A and B are shown apart, each in its own frame.
Chain A
Amino acid sequence: MTRLQPQPGEVIDRDRPIRFRWVGRDHQGYAGDTIASALAAAGVRVFGRSMKYHRPRGLLSADFHDPNCMVTVDGEPNVRGAHRLVRAGMDVRPQDTWPSLRFDVKAANQLVGRFLGPGFYYKTFMRPARLWPAYEAVLGRFSHGGHAPSEPAPERYDHRYVHPDVLVAGGGPAGMAAAAAAAGAGVSVLLVEEEQELGGHLRWGGPDDLAALRDLRAAMAAGSVEVLTDSVVTGRYDGNWVSVLQRAGAGGATGTVRERMVKARAKHLVVAAGLIERPYVVGGNDLPGVMLSTAVRRLVNLYAVRPGDRAVVLSANASGAAAADDLSRVGVDVVRVLDARAGEDITRIRGRSGVQAVECSDGTVVECDLVVTAVGWTAPLTLLTLAGGRATYRADAARFVATGLPDDVSAAGGLVGDGTLEQLIEHGRAVGRDAARRAMRVASVLAAGVPGAAVPAVHDGHVDVPALQPAPHPELFLGATDGIVDYSEDVSAKDLRAAVREGYDSIELAKRYTTATMGPAQGKLEAVNSIAAVAAATGADLAATGTTTGRPPYVPVSLGALAGRSHSLLRRSPVQGWHDAHGAVPLYAGAWIRPDHYGDPVAEVRAVREAVGLIDVTPLGKFDLRGADVPSLLELLYVNRWRKLDVGSVRYGVMCAEDGVVLDDGVTGRLGPEHYLMTTTSSGADAAHDWMERWLQTQRRDLQVHVTPVTANYASINVAGPRSRELLARLTSLDLSASAFGYMRVRTGRVADVEDCVVWRIGFTGELSFEVHVPAGYGLHVWEALLDAGADVGVRPFGVEAQRILRLEKGHLIVGQDTDGLTQAYGAGLGWAVKADKPDFAGKPELAWQLMREDYLHLVGLQPVDGTAVPPEASQIVEDGTRIVGRITSSRMSPTLGRSVCLAMVAPHLTAAGTTVTVRLPGGGSLQARVMPQHAHVDPEGVKLRA
């Protein structure tokens, strides 16, 4: 192949040569060239090797869907070489070649091809199962496609949300006409085109086509249509939620963003996807030099590439004739045109690394290096069937058409039927006007649902959409000899016949067994031929054989595009900046970033046990509850009793779900007669809020309660340790003495000159401690004031790790750590909180039934006999060597006791104090541990807490 003289419709810029590399050697193309067109112009005929037999492959359709020229570009695998434009300096490599494109070791597979029938891998590598890892290592080399890069993608990806009135998929003549007409009717329009330029088949057409294209483009430029080129509609979902993949096109329309997922909520969708030309299944049909007529027309007219020297054309339609004309015009010797409508046929194509000759049905053999087929069209109906349309086979036109579209989807142009260019454009215009009318009707319905919105007037005018019928076309799928049906999966007509013979006689089964249409091209070119091959083998016709189910995405979508921009929605307490500046090691807990520790968690524990420490507990869920019926709500939410909680008291509450499983826990204080502050676990705050509102909105609508989430309104600081009273007293006028401010009491007042702080006396750590909830804006101020005021009493900040050690020493459980999704209240040792005589609370019946059972695990305190050993959390507790009878839920080395301490879930017969259990360690081995009389390892009597 070589570059031709300038062509009227060519898209290359001969003033802008571009140098790039192919298989390590320098090549030159022009701006506007695809990788494939530039290489074809340089004489490259083989672009890759086929998946199974490693046969050489050349251009087939010369567009995005070409299965034969997937390449790796600068490390990016599986790039569509006939679509991606050349860029200066790009490094392009073929795929599926080892060790080289010219000499391929695996081409030996061709010789053993008769053993590589469908299901070969399933049948051969099944047994023995223990050898699978070895098989896998070898087969991995034979897997096709490029190799995923190991480095993170340097480019950015993004999402965009749009709400067009009308979205048009396909920018050929009908799509452009539809978009312009809809925009002319006054609605917003988004036009999506797969290729780098609008125009569809007009781009590679003759002078009349090019003239019409100029007019349509001018209309588009003048109007208000937003055009996305090099973009594909990848799916259509309920309510016309349409996903569009926008690539970094020729003009860099997406800027520095590599790919953008555009999510469109369209009021109406027009699908104008045109037609895809089908290959002909005949022996040798995958040799380099066998091309579709549209591929030839693209190469000649768009890229001025001479596709061969001596051509044979098999034609059943106008596209074949046009390709023959194009070839003759540029000086290719068209040695024979076989008219398929008159019964002429190709019976086999001969060649080794490329076409050498064709055998014709009249027995002649014609030498040539190019075979052009124009044997029929496939309508890409995926978007229509995704919308609920049905694919119906029209034998007279040899293609499927869609029927039964919903009101908010319509089809235009070649997808619907054939006609002159004028008829296609007129059809598109009418569909566009009708789409605008329907979109306005949807807008009106939507607006009517928005309280207070103005409802636009609806135009009830009717639009006559002219009928467009598929033109008669002979059914030409399978030739006289077996050829390749699916190029990307290397599946032949013979393979499909074998699959049917083995019993896979429905199209859905044969597809999965042979993997026909399951490769990267996803059957765009091959689906109908595979249906025809199954139909031929079963003796049914195509209509009875039916189609496979099309599913999104229509084209491959990169993971980056799906992920979009990286949003870090991290919640930070107002004190987090201080933590960062003071060496805090971050802990990412749910949505929050928190200090895990400040370098020495053991020293932090000692400070709390011996002097005083501060921990930032801002992530605690906090809810302001007001109203006369708050106690009634609390009685329902918690297993505890709340009616007698007086003003100034706090209580620890246990929340269970309706199945009795522990959902959350926390402290709630009564600040005033009808005013409470509830706290929940940090991770459970959102769920608890939903749960509260669910009771109020769906079950107990009579309750007068207002719930306000105030988690972020307060910074929460726990001041813990024997000297916490002494420290806090320096900053507040509140009387903190044991007699005036007892355990589980709450006061509101001023702390470090900040009004409206809520202070309650609780003890998660097991020490005397005060939790101070400060209006968030003053959180940092109070934190620093406490540290400044306490320098002489040895105050130091402590993090989540120290808190976890402290609470484990005290035997306080953490919901979700020491309980799981099956732990009901009694199993967690929380039975003391359950007030079974209350008339109702969430989970009440299940907890009553749990009391009657003895078959559940119990949470116990546990100490390894060897106090230096810390069994990892989640270690199993076993009996008789293998039977699992429990697990370690929490374990740490206790700095206070100088030995390891645990909480564990154990079977009921192991709960007695002093029972020795066996803990199986993850690395093998085991240790003995003793069940303790209570959860608390330190200060079980609670003397420190109540000091």
Chain B
Amino acid sequence: MLIPCPLCGPRDALEFRFVDETVRRPEPQSASPEQWRSYLYLRANRAGAVTELWLHRSGCRQYVVVERDSLTNTVTAARLARKEAVS
């Protein structure tokens, strides 16, 4: 799988570390145990279009938000996480 790193260009997935699906961190002051544990453990693991966080560990060390199809491994978008709109 090739991941088009926004800084380095298309690079082999071996250079990256898969981090997680993109999940929103609940507000720690007010989160219920259900909300917090859903954030910790529950993942959609969708067959099809997924949005994930990857780390270009053996490259620019930037966290990259990758949109790909988990059935075909076709990557449709890769953006720097630090440039994402704050959720």
Chain A positions near chain B (C-beta within 8 angstroms): 237-239, 241, 265, 388, 446, 449-451, 453, 658-659, 690, 693-694, 696-699, 701, 839-841, 844-846, 849
Contacts and interface: CB of A to CB of B under 8 A. Distances in A.
Interface string B27-47: 011010100100110000000
Interface string B49-69: 000010101000111000000
A694 to B, nearest CB: 6
Given A449-B9, A659-B40, A693-B63, A701 B28 contact: no
- Best-surrounded residue of B6, B31, B36, B73 (most CB of chain A within 10 A): B36
Contact of B28 (A238, A446, A659, A840): A840
B33 A701 contact: no
Given A659-B40, A690-B55, A849-B33, A449 B28 contact: no
Contact of A701 (B53, B62, B86): B86
A849 B61 CA distance: 34
Contact of B73 (A238, A265, A697, A839): A238
Contacts of A239: 1-2, 73
Given A694-B19, A845-B31, A845-B36, 10 more contacts: A238-B13, A265-B12, A449-B4, A450-B10, A658-B25, A659-B40, A693-B55, A697-B62, A698-B63, A846-B36
A693 B57 CA distance: 11
Given A659-B40, A698-B63, A844 B28 contact: yes
A865 B36 CA distance: 44
Q: Give the secondary structure class of B's interface.
A: mixed
B33 to A, nearest CB: 6
Interface string B75-87: 0000011101010
A265 B14 CA distance: 13
A889 B36 CA distance: 30
8 contacts: A237-B1, A265-B12, A658-B39, A697-B63, A698-B84, A840-B29, A841-B28, A844-B28
A698 B12 contact: no
Contacts of B82: 696-698, 701
Contacts of B10: 446, 449-450
Contacts of A265: 2, 12
B9 A446 contact: yes
A239 B13 CA distance: 10
A237 B4 CA distance: 17
Contacts of B72: 388
A330 B40 CA distance: 76
A839 B25 contact: no
A708 to B, nearest CB: 11
A123 to B, nearest CB: 38
Contact of B25 (A446, A693, A699): A699
Contacts of B13: 238
- Best-surrounded residue of B10, B28, B57 (most CB of chain A within 10 A): B28
A19 B61 CA distance: 58
A238 B29 CA distance: 43
B19 to A, nearest CB: 7
B74 to A, nearest CB: 9
Nearest to B1: A238
Nearest to B22: A698
Contacts of B6: 451
A450 B9 contact: yes
A661 B8 CA distance: 35
Interface extent on B, as a size class? 20 to 34
A239 B86 CA distance: 32
Closest 4 CB pairs of A and B: A450-B9, A238-B73, A449-B4, A697-B63
Contacts of A840: 28-29
Contacts of B33: 845, 849
Contacts of A701: 82, 86
A701 to B, nearest CB: 5
Contact of B81 (A238, A690, A698): A698
Contacts of B86: 701
Nearest to A696: B82
Contacts of A699: 25
B36 to A, nearest CB: 5
Contacts of A849: 33
Given A658-B40, A699-B25, A840-B28, A451 B73 contact: no
Contacts of A453: 9
A453 B5 CA distance: 14
B40 A451 contact: no
Nearest to A849: B33
Contacts of B17: 690
Contact of A451 (B9, B12, B31, B57): B9
Given A839-B29, A840-B28, A849-B33, A697 B81 contact: yes
Nearest to A841: B28
Contacts of B28: 839-841, 844-845
Contacts of A658: 25, 39-40
- Best-surrounded residue of A239, A841, A844, A849 (most CB of chain B within 10 A): A239
Nearest to A453: B9
A451 B7 contact: yes
Contacts of B61: 693
- Best-surrounded residue of A450, A699, A844, A845 (most CB of chain B within 10 A): A845
A698 B80 CA distance: 9
Contacts of B9: 446, 449-451, 453
A446 B75 CA distance: 13
A690 B36 contact: no
B10 to A, nearest CB: 5
A841 B28 CA distance: 8
A190 B82 CA distance: 40
A693 B72 CA distance: 30
Nearest to A449: B4
A659 B39 CA distance: 10
Contacts of A450: 8-10
A659 B1 CA distance: 31
Nearest to A406: B72
Nearest to B55: A690
A698 B36 contact: no
Contacts of B25: 658, 699
Contacts of B57: 690
A515 B45 CA distance: 33
A340 to B, nearest CB: 43
A453 B10 CA distance: 12
A238 B71 CA distance: 11
B40 A698 contact: no
A453 B44 CA distance: 37
Contacts of A846: 36
Contacts of A697: 62-63, 80-82
A388 B71 CA distance: 11
A694 B19 CA distance: 10
Contact of B53 (A237, A698, A841): A698
A241 B15 CA distance: 14
A446 B9 CA distance: 8
Contacts of B7: 451
A734 to B, nearest CB: 35
Contacts of A845: 28, 31, 33, 36
A845 B32 CA distance: 9
A659 B36 CA distance: 9
A702 to B, nearest CB: 8
Contacts of B2: 238-239, 265, 446
Contacts of B63: 693-694, 697-698
Contacts of A841: 28
Contacts of A237: 1
Nearest to A450: B9
- Best-surrounded residue of A388, A446, A693 (most CB of chain B within 10 A): A693
Nearest to B32: A845
Contacts of A694: 19, 55, 63
A657 to B, nearest CB: 9
B79 to A, nearest CB: 12
A172 B13 CA distance: 33
A845 B12 CA distance: 37
Contacts of B36: 845-846
